[in-house]
Amino acid sequence: MAATVAVVRCETYETGAVHAAVGRALDLLGGAGTIVAPGERILLKPNLLVPSRPEDAVTTHPAVFEATIRHLLDAGALLSFGDSPAFGGTEVAARRAGLTAVAEKLGVGLEVFREGRAVPFPEGRLIKRFEIADQVLEADGLISLPKLKTHALTRLTCAVKNQFGCVPGMRKGEFHAKMSDIRRFAQMLVDLNRLIAPRLAIVDAIVGMEGNGPRGGDPRAVGLIIASRDMVAADAVAASVIDLPLELVETCVIGHEWGLGEAYDIRVVGEPIDAVRVEGFSANRSRASTTPGPRPHQALMKRWMTPRPTIRAERCTRCGTCVTMCPVSPKAVDWHDGDRSGPPSYRYERCIRCYCCQEMCPERAIDVHTPLASRLFRR
């Protein structure tokens, strides 16, 4: 059966305009009352990747957060919100993003995803047991509030990827270390979404992030609210809007294959995609895989063929975040003999290309480059 995705124009974060756009998106999906029931405890999951200001386009904008809260409160839901940022702490991130001020005004509590419980998931195709934040398990339902951004590993971070924050704290780094190629990482995300089963995604695509996302890229006006009950369909539409080929978005391809959602048979309600497509949106459209070739050759191929992180020395402030975040042991990015007078350096033979360093660098000092050998080979 076709999945339905609502696409509504909204070119400003002015509170009234966003309230109207989110309301129209909900109406196109049948109304908030068809998604939540009075008295249900609904957990909102915005993107709070790191402490960052709304204008940086890293986190879900407070105007989208506020509009969603108001519509769901009108439908009678009991709301809270939470996340587990990769770096910097939930309270700090929520305050910096402007969400705390909104939540306090509207009486919505913040949940810090610090602790979790192991949840058996025998239906998992790859992962049979997840550790999930207690608050996610205790809620009657979860509504995802992602931001449309580029991502070095998954190409797109949007509705499916947003649930990774339901895995508390450092457990996320363990997944990066174990799922060292994009296909397995995407499979893990799909299993995670199959377990959590979010009821709805409302995507903040008013201003997205292009280029060196999900933290170090550039804000880019997209002018849309995208909403769906189907995480895969929401991401497929988001990818189409920024002209990112669907076959490059593994979470959509695998999400479709594994029955999480529908990537192809989609009924778009509201604006037709062709009318809202953003031309020239900068994203990783390289077809270089992180797992090319047969297994014995993978280490070599990974070293020479897959996009690699590099540090722009002139931007590096020697903060050490990349070293801290690198999930492999021994570290693949580290100080040279402990010397912090220069930037850290890479040992690419150890690097699993998870791009956590690039994702977390606060100075936008880490780029991801496709090696020349890969570009020549794939021409």
18 binds ligand SF4 (CB under 6 A): no
198 binds ligand SF4 (CB under 6 A): no
Instruction: Return the residue of 190, 269, 351, 374 that touches ligand SF4, per CB under 6 A.
Output: 351
Taking CB under 6 A as the binding criterion, the range among 5-13, 22-30, 126-134, 318-326 that sits at the site for ligand SF4 is: 318-326
Instruction: Return the residue of 229, 354, 367, 374 that touches ligand SF4, per CB under 6 A.
Output: 354
Q: In whole angstroms, what is the distance from residue 34 CA to residue 68 CA? A: 14
266 binds ligand SF4 (CB under 6 A): no
Q: In whole angstroms, what is the distance from residue 214 CA to residue 212 CA? A: 7
Least CB distance to ligand SF4 at residue 327 (A): 6
**Cβ(145)–Cβ(26) below 8 Å:** no
Q: Which residues contact 88 (CB under 8 A, 6 or more apart)?
A: 50, 51
Write the DSSP assignment of 91-159 as a string of letters: HHHHHHTTHHHHHHHHT-EEEE---EEEEE-TT-SS-SEEEEEHHHHHSSEEEEE-EEEEETTTEEEST
Taking CB under 6 A as the binding criterion, the range among 60-68, 105-113, 258-266, 359-367 that sits at the site for ligand SF4 is: 359-367
Taking CB under 6 A as the binding criterion, the range among 79-87, 104-112, 230-238, 313-321 that sits at the site for ligand SF4 is: 313-321
Least CB distance to ligand SF4 at residue 121 (A): 26
353 binds ligand SF4 (CB under 6 A): yes
182 binds ligand SF4 (CB under 6 A): no
The number of beta carbons lying within 10 Å of the beta carbon of residue 292 is 19
Give the β-pairing of 345-346 and 333-334: antiparallel
Taking CB under 6 A as the binding criterion, the range among 56-64, 109-117, 124-132, 314-322 that sits at the site for ligand SF4 is: 314-322
Nearest to 58 by CA among 185, 160, 162: 162
317 binds ligand SF4 (CB under 6 A): yes
Least CB distance to ligand SF4 at residue 5 (A): 32
Q: How many CA atoms lie within 13 A of 82 on its CB side?
A: 26
For residue 337, is it left (φ>0), alpha (ψ between -120 and 50) or beta? left
320 binds ligand SF4 (CB under 6 A): yes
Taking CB under 6 A as the binding criterion, the range among 196-204, 258-266, 358-366, 369-377 that sits at the site for ligand SF4 is: 358-366
Print burial letters for 170-195: b (CB count within 10 Å at least 16), e (below 16).
eebbebbeebbbbebbbbbbbbbbbb
Segment 235 to 254, residues that bind ligand SF4, using CB under 6 A? none
The residue (of 221 and 373) whose beta carbon lies closer to ligand SF4 is 373
222 binds ligand SF4 (CB under 6 A): no
332 binds ligand SF4 (CB under 6 A): yes
Tokens matching residue 207: 């201003």
Only one residue has tokens 């009318």, namely 275
CA distances from 302 to 350, 360, 366 (A): 10, 22, 19
Tokens matching residue 129: 């047991």
Instruction: Return the residue of 100, 154, 321, 374 that touches ligand SF4, per CB under 6 A.
Output: 321
Instruction: Give residue 225's identity as a one-letter amino acid code.
Output: I
25 binds ligand SF4 (CB under 6 A): no
103 binds ligand SF4 (CB under 6 A): no
Only one residue has tokens 């609904």, namely 42
63 binds ligand SF4 (CB under 6 A): no
**Cβ(56)–Cβ(93) below 8 Å:** no
Instruction: Return the residue of 248, 344, 367, 374 that touches ligand SF4, per CB under 6 A.
Output: 344
# binding residues, ligand SF4 (CB under 6 A): 28
Instruction: Return the residue of 63, 102, 132, 366 that touches ligand SF4, per CB under 6 A.
Output: 366
Nearest to 200 by CA among 162, 262, 148, 144: 144
Taking CB under 6 A as the binding criterion, the range among 2-10, 160-168, 187-195, 352-360 that sits at the site for ligand SF4 is: 352-360
Reduced to 3 states (helix: H, G, I; strand: E, B; else coil), residue 208 is strand
Taking CB under 6 A as the binding criterion, the range among 140-148, 221-229, 238-246, 325-333 that sits at the site for ligand SF4 is: 325-333
Nearest to 9 by CA among 225, 212, 221: 225
Tokens matching residue 248: 């490059």
- Binding residues for ligand SF4, rule: CB under 6 A, are 309, 311, 316-322, 325-326, 328, 332-333, 343-344, 346, 351-357, 361, 363, 365-366
